[in-house]
Amino acid sequence: MQYRNHAKEIYAAAVAAVQPSALLPQYLQLNGNVLKAGNNSIALAENNLYVIGAGKAAAAMAQTTEQLLGHFIQSGFISTKYKHAAPLQIIQCTEAAHPVPDENSIKAMQQTIALLQQTKPGDHILCLLSGGASALWADTPAGIALAELQQTFQLLLNSGADIAEMNCVRKHVSNSKGGQLLRYAPHAHWHTFIISDVPGNNLETIASGPTTTDPTSFTDAWNIIQHYQLEKIIPASVAQHLQKGIDGSIAETIKHGDALLQQAQHYIIGSNETALQAAAHKATALGYTVFTFPASLQGEAADTAASIVQQATAYNGIRPACFIYGGETTVTVTGKGKGGRNQQLALCATQHIQANNPITLLAAGTDGTDGPTDAAGAFADNVVVQQALQQQLHPAHFVEQNDAYTFFQQTDGLFITGATQTNVMDLVIVLLP
């Protein structure tokens, strides 16, 4: 179990490095009545300051913001995932569903818009965004019911679409995503602080870019629907909405050059790369020869798992060695089991690990949740392989059923951390003794 414990320590170091309490003080600095927010100095005695936000890290971001700015905050409202709330004194917090929005997601957006509409010219808005915001802030355009929105997003999730594709569609069935949130406080100064959960830290993709330009179009969204062969099974109202957008009957999202963007500044304060660096530092301290692979987790989880185990098996360098991968895979869901992309990756990895193979692999989400489960991810090692052999459990069956959670529940492979209050995609840690 020594290597599992080391993997846990490396994961914990990575998560600690991307906590809002470690990141935000570098960007929000108070000197008397003057706030330095990123590159801007704000005279707080002369200007109202509002705080909004959404995401799995939003509550912890709001908590740190309150600790830094206290009574200077006029009011605020944030939305986070269920069981991710944190104690707040000034900023209101609601919990909502992820990855598919629910009624609370709609109410959160409505209350956020109501707060924005209170602002006056010259006021300042701190917008705190992190992964998960696309679902935790939701709205239903005219003619589309919440259930129809939910069905569309679930179909996309099951299709294997990546986060950029998902969010392109989300932006075009919304009145707030893709920069459109700026329309509700057009004369205020916007300062958006972001913990990134997308490959390449693309501003337009993170949280579906509510305060930035959107280079995608209704046509792009419809092409994605067609690419995954969903055009005949998404609700008619959603298809009609996208077609109206293509025809020009519905206004596009905010585009480059829009005057609203002149009032908006953005800062990526933490990312997967930040976590990878901290993980590598910890692994080195534990005595490992370390190799990091940024943005290496992508594509189908099964393919990535096979590549990672092959790379580890072929390694003949200095030991003990540690390989650390970052990013986010996808899973095309065809079964009716329970799991998430990290558990699926670990499950697929067990198919390539022999009982006498000393590889220890941990695949986990930095947010502490993987899919609709209470696990952050799972271990793939000889303990799991031996347990599966003893119980005559066949990984291929569980892969086919997308039922990784059940497999690891029976083989002592689940990795459960609880909510971490941050989110910078996933990590795979491989240890070679």
Contacts 24+ apart (CB under 8 A), 262-265: 263/182, 263/186, 263/187, 263/188, 263/189, 263/190, 264/182, 264/190, 264/192, 264/211, 264/212, 265/38, 265/39, 265/40, 265/190, 265/191, 265/192
Q: Are residues 281 and 261 in the same domain?
A: no
Residue 82 placed within a domain: yes
Separation of alpha carbons 161 and 167, rounded Å: 10
Residue 282 placed within a domain: yes
Separation of alpha carbons 91 and 78, rounded Å: 7
Q: Are residues 192 and 281 in the same domain?
A: no
Residue with tokens 């993997």: 7
Q: What is the mean pLDDT of the chain?
A: 96
Q: Are residues 313 and 257 in the same domain?
A: no
Q: Are residues 195 and 289 in the same domain?
A: no
Which of 224, 244, 270 marks a domain boundary?
270
**What pLDDT digit, counting tens, does each position of 102-114 carry?**
999 999 999 999 9
What domain range is 312 assigned to? 273-432
Separation of alpha carbons 419 and 68, rounded Å: 23
Residue 197 placed within a domain: yes
Residue 281 placed within a domain: yes
Q: Are residues 184 and 279 in the same domain?
A: no
Q: Are residues 284 and 263 in the same domain?
A: no
CATH code of 378's domain:
3.40.1480.10
Residue 140 — very low, low, confident or very high, per pLDDT cuts 50/70/90? very high
Do 80 and 56 meet the contact criterion of CB atoms below 8 Å apart?
yes
pLDDT of residue 354: 78
Q: Are residues 404 and 422 in the same domain?
A: yes
**What pLDDT digit, counting tens, does each position of 346-403 carry?**
999 999 987 677 899 999 999 999 999 999 999 999 999 999 999 999 999 999 999 9
Residue 130 placed within a domain: yes
Which of 208, 238, 270 marks a domain boundary?
270
Q: Are residues 51 and 196 in the same domain?
A: yes
What is the average per-residue pLDDT within 186-195? Answer: 98
**What pLDDT digit, counting tens, does each position of 313-352 carry?**
999 999 999 999 999 999 999 999 999 999 999 999 999 9
**What pLDDT digit, counting tens, does each position of 217-266 carry?**
999 999 999 999 999 999 999 999 999 999 999 999 999 999 999 999 99
Q: Are residues 261 and 363 in the same domain?
A: no
- The tokens describing 150, both together, are 């939910």
Q: Are residues 133 and 281 in the same domain?
A: no
How many domains is the chain partitioned into structurally? 2
Residue 305 placed within a domain: yes
Neighbour-count burial of 18, counting CB atoms closer than 10 A to its CB (0-12 exposed, 13-18 middle, 19+ buried): buried
Residue 354 placed within a domain: yes
Which of 225, 244, 270 marks a domain boundary?
270
Q: What is the pTM of this model?
A: 0.93
Q: Are residues 262 and 329 in the same domain?
A: no
CATH code of 59's domain:
3.40.50.10180
What is the average per-residue pLDDT within 77-86? Answer: 96
Q: Are residues 262 and 322 in the same domain?
A: no
Residue 233 placed within a domain: no
